[in-house]
Amino acid sequence: MRKIFVTEFVSLDGVMEDPGGAEKFVHGGWTMPYWSEEIGKFKLDELLTSDGLLLGRVTYQGFAAAWPLKD
């Protein structure tokens, strides 16, 4: 049986939109002041150990543009 893990970028006051700031929303980029190499390694390890991902449309489009194609 597989496990389901949920990971989200959400502030203590509930802001979820545009954590990296790429979409230029009013509250966009709110995670960047707190980003570190340790967080980046955690997120990469989390991604690479997953069997599958469920992404929203905008996140998927960003991944699809950057992700290598399978042969």
Q: What is the pLDDT, as a whole number, of residue 71?
A: 56
Q: What is the pLDDT, as a whole number, of residue 64?
A: 87
How far apart (Å, rounded) are the C-alpha atoms in residues 17 and 24?
Answer: 10
Q: What is the pLDDT, as a whole number, of residue 70?
A: 65
Q: Is the pLDDT of residue 3 over 80?
A: no
Cβ within 8 Å of residue 28, ≥6 positions away: 17, 18, 19, 20, 21, 22
List, for residues 4-39, the tens digit of each pLDDT value.
Answer: 778 888 888 887 878 788 788 887 888 888 889 998
71 three-state secondary structure: coil
Q: What is the pLDDT, as a whole number, of residue 66?
A: 84
pTM of the model: 0.61
